[in-house]
Amino acid sequence: MNEAVEYAGLRKPFGKPLSANQAIQFPTVELMTQAEMLRLLIYKTAWEMDQMTGPEIQLYLSDKVSMCNYWANRFCCEAADWAMQVHGGMGYSRHKPFEHIYRHHRRYRITEGSEQIQMRNVAGHLFGFMGKNKPRGGEH
């Protein structure tokens, strides 16, 4: 995203910087806002993990870890895709890192706990099938 911002200021098709166009600005702003929110969720979750034991994390926090996981991988794909778009044809090529970043994080939306599996974990905590809201010692 930082590279996209820099490039949008440098590249001047027909004499005007890409960054002067709201069609370039607004999607960039949306992604930068998401990045800030995501970063804070990750810092907060990491800070809370530091206060807990492993079993407590499983009980009280694994839904937040799953939120960080699936949202961060999805965000990386969206950010890489947008950076590629801002860079035009060069962004698609391997002269820039975006296709690699996209492909790498696209994989993590499937492996090591796919998006659906992460969401299942969040839903389990939310609806009381697992985690701290699961009724103890009886049928749900």
Ligand X SMILES: Cc1cc2nc3c(=O)[nH]c(=O)nc-3n(C[C@H](O)[C@H](O)[C@H](O)COP(=O)(O)OP(=O)(O)OC[C@H]3O[C@@H](n4cnc5c(N)ncnc54)[C@H](O)[C@@H]3O)c2cc1C
Answer yes or no: are the C-beta atoms of 66 and 121 closer than 8 Å.
yes
Asked if 107 touches ligand X (CB under 6 A), the answer is yes
Take residue 65 and report the two structure tokens written for it.
């870890």
Of 51, 111, 137, 139, the one binding ligand X by CB under 6 A: 111
Q: Give the shortest CB-108-to-ligand X separation in angstroms.
A: 9
Rank residues 93 and 116 by Cβ distance to ligand X and give the closer one.
116
Residue corresponding to tokens 């004499």:
15
48 included as an active-site residue: no
From the list 6, 30, 56, 112, the catalytic residue is 112
Neighbours of 130 (CB within 10 A): 19
Of 116, 127, 132, 134, the one binding ligand X by CB under 6 A: 116
Rank residues 19 and 62 by Cβ distance to ligand X and give the closer one.
62
User: How many angstroms separate the CA atoms of 60 and 67, rounded?
Assistant: 13
Answer yes or no: are the C-beta atoms of 8 and 24 closer than 8 Å.
yes
Q: Give the shortest CB-109-to-ligand X separation in angstroms.
A: 8
Neighbours of 83 (CB within 10 A): 24
Asked if 114 touches ligand X (CB under 6 A), the answer is yes
